[in-house]
Structure 1
Amino acid sequence: MRLPALLLVLLACLPAAAQDIAGDRTATERRLQELQAQIARDEARLAETSEAEEATLKTLQALDRQITLREELVRNYQIRLEELRHERDSLQASLAGLETAIAGLRSEYRQRATHAYKYGRLHDLALILAAESINQMLIRVRYLHRFAEQRRRQLATIREASAEMEQQRLALQEKVEHTDLLLRAAADEQQKLARQKQQRRRVAEELRKQRLSLEASLQEKKTLASQLATRIQALIAEEAARRRTSGSAAGAAFVRLSGSFLQNKGNLPWPAAGPVVEPFGEKVHPVYGTTTPNPGIVIATPPMAEVRAVFDGTVISIDVMPDIGRYMIVEHGQYHSVYGNFALINVGEGEQVRAGQLLGRSGTDAEPKGEGLFFGLFHDGRPVDPLAWLARR
């Protein structure tokens, strides 16, 4: 009876493992579809921009964004490929276990057949005739019948399971081959885009002819970090004055919120889904080679994507800034999260928000950052790298 027990264990493990694998597969495939859609939209815009008579800084920014998106696409293809290989290996291991169980059952059946050939059904008949009563005889007959029927069902079940597993293995192999093709195609497109980026020298030369407008834009970007920091520091001063007048309860709540926010460093949820196309820190100007401080990150998103709060807090300001458009500041004690480039805002100043609450919708082509979200974190009015605080993915 050990082989059927092994079979039951194998079959019982399959549904839970399949559910976990299916969940990972669905998430990766959804991410691939989102990235492919983003790349298609950006390609169309890049083509329109390239056809314009006058080169603009937006052309270079579009190229940089395309490269970042395609690198993320290739990375997700590689993840999907590993998932498929893992699924295939798991199914092969399960298939091997089932084949062992089938072989064991067939061996038992051969032994029974040999026994039956030598002795006919004398053993079963002897068991029945050895009964002490008619009732016991009937019980033994029913038992032998159920036993034989159960073994037939078990054999049929594992044969069906083995056939199904084999079909799934073949289907997975096809998916692996298909994903390999997609991976090579994505890598080829990335190389083609990298070659396009070499045309930056021509575009940059044309941009240098527009020096006055570019210098004004550069100066505007340089002031972004200081403007945000100044704004947040002013709000901190206002809040400190308010707490002094409202008593110790507000101050205690402020300290608790600061502590809990700090404890979640590295585990905060992302405010929106998408790759980071502008990192935190010093950003090199594509024409002049000068650097400007970037007080946050820019996440590439589909247009009108959901933007959600990363932690409980209070919306203390909603305003507009040239480089990040409409933005809001949410206070979390000594920490402040900044969300910018909104196409639509769903909350108001003074409103209490919860982690994961919908704050608004990310930008479209009409916003300064295009299809994306600006996100920054400040501690006591000083910008910190948001990637160190967000959960790894």
Structure 2
Amino acid sequence: MIKARFPYTLVVIFICLLSSVSVFAQSKKQQELENRRQELRNEIEQINSMLFKNKSKEKSQLSLIQDLNHKINVRSNLIKVTNQQANLLTREIGVNQREITQLREDLENLKKDYAQMIVHSYKSRSEQSRVMFLLSSSNFQQAYKRLQYITQYTTYQKEQAASIKIKTEDLKVANANLLKQKADKQELIKDNSIAQGQLELERRQQRTLMASIQKDLKTYSSQIKQKQQEANKIDREIEKLIREAIAKSNKKAGKSTTAKGFALTPEAKSLAASFVANKGKLPWPVQKGVVTLRYGNQPHPIVKSATIHSNGVRIATSPGAEVRAVFNGEVYAIIVQKKGNPTVLVQHGNYFTAYKNLSKVYVKKGDKVVTSQAIGQVFTNSSTGDTTLSFSIFKESTTQNPSLWLYKM
């Protein structure tokens, strides 16, 4: 009787192990989705705070529609992630329900077996019957095997009692988890319903603004072109300064001034190596912010015929926000152009970081700066209420994608 149950026990253990692995994988995925959902919710809060709160009525329709588009994209992603969570919970609930059914069946079988053992034990409860069972053996080997059987049977009886207790507790935990999962799913459905309503409202606003913009598309195209020219001008100035820095380093090292790369000192090499080692882990240049323009060439979200060329990222932040150095380095230049706001250029070996559109500058050329040190303040446009920092990274004079360098951009 006992030996026959060992294979069954092994099968049950194997199934439980597979189930545990599956549940662990699902729980990990659920946590990843929840983390992403919270990130998106926080981003929407920052968008509301930095792009839509206390904004001037003079804010251009072009800026409004760009901000609204960004908000719609983030909210759409939030709805998508929440749906993924709800669907995963549905699958987890199904798994749990099947597990509970199996636990109930196992518990019922254990109780039946245990009841039969109790009856059998009661019938053969006297010590005399056990002794007679041993003495009636035909030889010593048979008596030894019968003694082993009695010992195993008693042990198995105790194990069955313990198994019943464990299964009962497992069933309680599974039921509690199931109730929590169902409550979590209802909460997700409720959140998504609210988000869907907000998304529809924002899309109606978007359609209204788009209809207004279409009436005067030429004017908006001209504004976009002018902004691109201003951005290109400061980028050309930065690239010129970097080329000059490369030439100076090579001249100082006794090399050709036409060489494309830096002739770095051992100290500068070490700094550059540390900068590279921290790729993906650098702090943001502002404490809080929302990326409103990403790196690279991209079609304008409103005027499809226009192309945006971005050598860095544009980050909307709060009025009065301070700009922070993203890594140790030396201030190579403070760039001030006519009809433009200051730019701070910081050197990190053969890498440079540029912080554009500042209202105040706390450092001067030649100053040593450390990671997260405040180097200035972001400019706030009094007419529109926008507070936006443009940030770029260069290796020599080649632009880099800041989202690959800054932490979780």
TM-score, normalised by the number of residues in structure 2: 0.67
CA–CA distance in structure 1, aligned partners of residues 93 and 376 of structure 2: 42
Q: Secondary structure at 2:386's aligned position in 1?
A: coil
| Equivalent residue, structure 2, for 1:374 | 390
Residue 382 of structure 1, CA deviation = 4.9
Q: 2:51 touches 2:386 (CA, 8 Å); kept in 1?
A: no
Q: 1:39 touches 1:70 (CA, 8 Å); kept in 2?
A: no
Deviations 1:204-260 (A, max 9, x none): 48979xxxxx88x96575143233332343244246425643789944555676678
For residue 245 of structure 1, what is the amino acid of its counterpart?
Answer: K
For residue 34 of structure 1, what is the amino acid of its counterpart?
Answer: E
Q: 2:332 touches 2:347 (CA, 8 Å); kept in 1?
A: yes
For residue 106 of structure 1, what is the amino acid of its counterpart?
Answer: E
For residue 95 of structure 2, what is the amino acid of its counterpart?
Answer: A
Q: 2:103 touches 2:167 (CA, 8 Å); kept in 1?
A: no
Residue 341 of structure 1, CA deviation = 3.9
Gaps of 5+ in 2: 1-8, 135-142, 256-262
CA–CA distance in structure 1, aligned partners of residues 81 and 377 of structure 2: 27
1:339 aligns with 2:351: no
In terms of mean alpha carbon deviation, does 358-367 or 326-335 score higher? 358-367
Pick from 80, 102, 114 the counterpart of residue 78 of structure 1.
80
| Equivalent residue, structure 1, for 2:48 | 39
Pick from 350, 357, 368 the counterpart of residue 367 of structure 2.
350
CA–CA distance in structure 2, aligned partners of residues 323 and 110 of structure 1: 89
In structure 2, relative to structure 1, the CA distance for the partners of 1:257 and 1:371 (3 Å cut) is same
| Equivalent residue, structure 2, for 1:295 | 311
Q: 2:312 touches 2:402 (CA, 8 Å); kept in 1?
A: yes
| Equivalent residue, structure 1, for 2:64 | 62
Pick from 293, 311, 320 the counterpart of residue 278 of structure 1.
293
CA–CA distance in structure 1, aligned partners of residues 161 and 43 of structure 2: 52
Residue 150 of structure 1, CA deviation = 2.0
| Equivalent residue, structure 2, for 1:52 | none
In structure 2, relative to structure 1, the CA distance for the partners of 1:106 and 1:385 (3 Å cut) is same
CA–CA distance in structure 1, aligned partners of residues 85 and 360 of structure 2: 37
For residue 84 of structure 2, what is the amino acid of its counterpart?
Answer: E
| Equivalent residue, structure 1, for 2:37 | 28
Q: 1:306 touches 1:362 (CA, 8 Å); kept in 2?
A: yes
CA–CA distance in structure 2, aligned partners of residues 104 and 36 of structure 1: 49
CA–CA distance in structure 1, aligned partners of residues 235 and 66 of structure 2: 25
| Equivalent residue, structure 1, for 2:122 | 121
Q: Secondary structure at 1:198's aligned position in 2?
A: helix
CA–CA distance in structure 2, aligned partners of residues 324 and 99 of structure 1: 71
Q: 1:233 touches 1:380 (CA, 8 Å); kept in 2?
A: no
CA–CA distance in structure 2, aligned partners of residues 343 and 243 of structure 1: 34
Residue 158 of structure 1, CA deviation = 0.9
For residue 169 of structure 1, what is the amino acid of its counterpart?
Answer: Q
CA–CA distance in structure 1, aligned partners of residues 322 and 125 of structure 2: 71
| Equivalent residue, structure 2, for 1:225 | 232
- The structure having more radius of gyration, on CA atoms, is 2
Q: 1:363 touches 1:372 (CA, 8 Å); kept in 2?
A: yes
CA–CA distance in structure 2, aligned partners of residues 242 and 219 of structure 1: 35
Residue 32 of structure 1, CA deviation = 0.7
Pick from 237, 249, 252 the counterpart of residue 245 of structure 1.
252
CA–CA distance in structure 2, aligned partners of residues 200 and 170 of structure 1: 46
Q: 2:43 touches 2:290 (CA, 8 Å); kept in 1?
A: no
Q: How big is the alpha-carbon RMSD for the aligned residues of Structure 1 and Structure 2?
A: 5.0
CA–CA distance in structure 1, aligned partners of residues 228 and 250 of structure 2: 34
Deviations 1:251-308 (A, max 9, x none): 455567667877988x565736765423444776989x77775433213345567866
In structure 2, relative to structure 1, the CA distance for the partners of 1:242 and 1:33 (3 Å cut) is closer
| Equivalent residue, structure 2, for 1:234 | 241
Q: Percent identity?
A: 14
In terms of mean alpha carbon deviation, does 381-390 or 63-72 score higher? 381-390
| Equivalent residue, structure 2, for 1:106 | 108
Deviations 1:170-192 (A, max 9, x none): 11320332243134224302321
CA–CA distance in structure 2, aligned partners of residues 285 and 81 of structure 1: 26
CA–CA distance in structure 1, aligned partners of residues 361 and 104 of structure 2: 62
For residue 75 of structure 1, what is the amino acid of its counterpart?
Answer: N
In structure 2, relative to structure 1, the CA distance for the partners of 1:177 and 1:319 (3 Å cut) is same
TM-score, normalised by the number of residues in structure 1: 0.69
In terms of mean alpha carbon deviation, does 92-101 or 122-131 score higher? 122-131
Q: Secondary structure at 1:328's aligned position in 2?
A: strand
Q: Secondary structure at 2:60's aligned position in 1?
A: helix
Gaps of 5+ in 1: 50-55, 209-213
For residue 313 of structure 2, what is the amino acid of its counterpart?
Answer: I
1:162 aligns with 2:169: no
Task: Tell me how many residue pairs correspond in the alignment.
Answer: 372
| Equivalent residue, structure 1, for 2:346 | 330
CA–CA distance in structure 2, aligned partners of residues 35 and 373 of structure 1: 19
For residue 85 of structure 1, what is the amino acid of its counterpart?
Answer: N
Residue 376 of structure 1, CA deviation = 1.9
Deviations 1:2-40 (A, max 9, x none): 446865886798679647644641442243133135236
